[in-house]
């Protein structure tokens, strides 16, 4: 049975390893597409425009908001981040599961606008490990790391809004777990409404026949 793709929101504390998990998931299975966000943050060393993000000025970002070009956006640590609409709509229509790697405010907006979306929260096994990973990245100043840990504390308050939590201890295991969650989610009635409607119509037809 043909089915439109699932809109998947993947969030997690900065340093949870979401980026690596998503890359691996996309390499391994071809039924996923990753949305590339727009941001006003400066590129980190090695980041390329149109690959990790579409890097933008504040003016252009705000213009895109006004033109309804984003399905959600948020301010995170002083910068705008947002999800371009066109790519998401195209890929979902083509049957791909579209992954949005976004923070919690954006995730909540997506759930509100698209109740059939699937929200997954990825976390390292412990706070110690989170701190170690943030420091080990070596691309951030200590005050940026401190800000991201403070933000993680705030975000931990919102985890209950997610459908699933997946611990990223072992990369392969984490990728498989996410894939299984998505696979199971495809079978939830909320995502099989067309199918349910068809069955109901057909059964009504039979019931009519039996009553006459
Ligand atoms: P970073 O600066 O580390 O690349 O990203 C900071 C945070 O912004 C991460 O939690 C990331 O998931 C989130 N983020 C990236 N793109 C988007 C987006 O399009 N919308 C929202 N709401 N958050 C985003």
- Which two three-digit tokens encode residue 50? 């149109």
Say if residues 4 and 190 touch (Cβ distance below 8 Å). Answer: no
Could you tell me the residue ranges of all domains in the chain?
A: 1-28+97-212, 32-94
- C-alpha 19: how far from its chain's center? 11
Provide CB contacts within 8 A for 197, sequence distance 6+.
none
- Which two three-digit tokens encode residue 111? 């759930």
Q: Is the shortest distance between the CB of 155 and ligand 1 below 6 Å?
A: no
Q: Is the shortest distance between the CB of 64 and ligand 1 below 6 Å?
A: no
36 has a pLDDT exceeding 70: yes
Domain 32-94 listed as CATH 3.30.63.10:
yes
| Top-level class of domain 1-28+97-212 | alpha beta
What is the structure's pLDDT at 148?
84
- Which two three-digit tokens encode residue 52? 């990790």
What is the structure's pLDDT at 155?
87
**Cα–Cα distance for residue pair 176/134, rounded to 1 Å:** 24
How much distance in Å is there from the Cα of 167 to the middle of ligand 1?
A: 19
User: Ligand 1 pocket: which of 7, 13, 76, 100 to mutate (most atoms <8 Å of CB)?
Assistant: 76
Provide CB contacts within 8 A for 200, sequence distance 6+.
none
- Which two three-digit tokens encode residue 143? 């005050």
1 has a pLDDT exceeding 60: no
168 has a pLDDT exceeding 50: yes
pTM summary value = 0.88
Q: Summarize the confidence of residues 178-190 as an average pLDDT.
A: 94
Q: Is the shortest distance between the CB of 36 and ligand 1 below 6 Å?
A: no
Q: Summarize the confidence of residues 127-150 as an average pLDDT.
A: 84
């Amino acid at each position: 049975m043909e089915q439109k793709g699932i809109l998947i929101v993947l969030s997690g504390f900065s340093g949870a390893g979401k980026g690596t998990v998503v890359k691996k998931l996309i390499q391994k299975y071809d039924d996923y597409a990753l949305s590339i966000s727009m941001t006003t943050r400066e590129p980190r060393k090695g980041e390329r425009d149109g690959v990790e993000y579409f890097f933008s000025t504040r003016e252009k970002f705000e213009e895109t908001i006004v033109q309804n070009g984003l399905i959600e956006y948020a301010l995170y640590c002083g910068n705008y981040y947002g999800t371009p609409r066109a790519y998401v709509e195209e890929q979902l229509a083509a049957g791909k599961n579209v992954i949005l790697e976004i923070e919690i405010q954006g995730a909540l907006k997506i759930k509100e606008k698209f109740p059939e979306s699937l929200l997954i929260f990825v976390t390292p096994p412990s706070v110690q490990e989170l701190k170690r990973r943030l420091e080990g990245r070596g691309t951030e100043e200590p005050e940026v790391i401190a800000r991201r840990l403070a933000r993680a504390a705030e975000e931990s308050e919102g985890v209950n809004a997610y459908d699933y939590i997946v611990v990223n201890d072992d990369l392969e295991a984490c990728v498989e777990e996410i894939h299984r969650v998505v696979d199971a989610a495809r079978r939830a009635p909320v995502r099989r409404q067309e199918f349910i409607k068809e069955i109901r119509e057909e059964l009504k037809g039979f019931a009519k026949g039996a009553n006459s």
